[in-house]
Structure 1
Amino acid sequence: MSGLCEGRVVIVTGAGRGLGRAHALAFAEQGARVVVNDLGVAPDGAGRSRGPAQSVADEIRAAGGEAVAHDGDIATTEGAASLIATAVERFGALHTLVNNAGFLRDRMLVNLDEDDWDAVMRVHLKGHFLPLKHAAAYWRAEAKAGREVAARVVNTSSGAGLLGSVGQGNYSAAKAGIVGLTLVAAAELGRYGVRVNAIAPSARTRMTETTFADAMAAPGEDAAFDAMAPENVSPLVVWLGSAGSEGVTGRVFETEAGRITVMEGWRAGPTIDKGARWTPREAGTAALKLLTEAQTPGAVYGSR
């Protein structure tokens, strides 16, 4: 039986370790040819090594799959363009882009340096935008040339981007930005045959190994089930990256262990229309009344 992604060419950024590695291996197992991108940096973004990307590409090939390593910096125009070109030149096409690369520089806001803000914004938000931009240009050209496009983009947000996370103002802001970018890309690129979605995963990686070190199976689950293994997230990513996800776009899925949740974003709640300008006191009274009718937002991570 052929795999779900047989014949598809897939790029996974940040694929040298953790979630990205799990995604790359899962795509290869389903028949995809994979471009394994990783800059090989430390958890805070320091240093650089080709080793992680090469190791995963070698692992895929050893299992009988097809893969190539790419260690370019996808938060630069040159690196992002090179990434897309590698897929097309090596495998003849590009069908799926999984944006996953990132690192942490956690600080409380009063201690958060401008450099730490810029670095996290750069790798997460710019590191999503530039590969997406260059992939989209390729797919638009394919569509305009009359060739059928069934392209997929899977972006990586976070619960921190949906609810916020104490000590992670930079990371939360970047991940929230990725959701906005996903919605715009889904709206703009649909005409070319591109479907764009995002995930908000929870799993044990270098960025979360302390948080999830002692995670246990939930009640009713197999005690041998490693609930926080990154491999638990990959099946949804593979499906979203396959032709089988046609019709699904502009969505955010939270995924953890054996659970998948469709996240529902901002939409109009209770409202009052006076039909004229409010005074400040009237506006305050109206706002307080509306809040009694509105749903209580989820708690910011780390605030309880």
Structure 2
Amino acid sequence: MKITPISLDEYIELVQGLTPSSVFQNPQYQFLQTLSNPSQYKLMPLKIEDNFNIILIPVIVRERQNGYPEYRVQADSIHSAKELTEQTYRTAMTALRKMKPYRITLESSILIPAPFHKEDGEIRKKTTYVIKLPNDFEGWLASLSHDTRSKIRRAIRKSEELGMVVRKRELDGLEDFLGLFYERFRKEPAMLNSLPAFYFESMFKILPQNSVCIYDAIYCEKNIATLLVVKLAPDCFAHSTAFNREYSNLKAIEILFAACIKDLIAEGIQTLNLGGIGKVKSLAQIKLNLGACPIDFQTVS
């Protein structure tokens, strides 16, 4: 395997002939332009040559203390000379690990297969979950129901008791809380008997005029999941994803819900409680899109 950092111009020239071959977009570069402090970040395109294949990865790099960089990669930014497969993502992750960063955050996409890794002889889905809340975390909690606030506070308290780090950062808010929790539950499933598991997906900027942002938090306990959908003003965030496309508000919600629900089905969830502002209206269309679905839908305030 040969790993070569390349310039942005070389990356743009190479990527247009690789898979996927649709209209060229560079979500990583767009994301870089929206960061609250771009001077802390840089774009580092990588060219990976392995087994007669070329893989291009645009990596967002943030330098941390002691010289250990933090990498962020969006899965739909990865391009390959050959067909994109699970092996493509494994090769990409192997290459990134060889660079010895402090942390790699790989954000999966609903548009292409999520990244996988090999564990205990089986191929299992692996996604790094990152929670991003507005700076006014207490204000965000106040907008939720009493029961949900209690669950979130209890989960954070339990995570701190287990030695996990919970951080609040300016516009990014809390980060890595979910990734730590999720991995702990994967390793120790018995903890589900006493602690809740959370799934968080990144914030989605949906409307072209950027007037509404959707943030989703899925609270899972045993075989029941509660999906919370919170509307926030876009200036609460300094984060944009590859999902900032020309979807109507309703269409984007349907796609987002369908992606979440398919993941929940794979996790064995049997009941989904839907909560939020105005999102239940698209429930009938979501059911229609999913076809035969083993999940029982319920609504909660």
**TM-score of the superposed pair, with normalisation by structure 2:** 0.31
Higher relative strand content? 2
Higher relative helix content? 1
Higher Cα Rg, which structure? 1
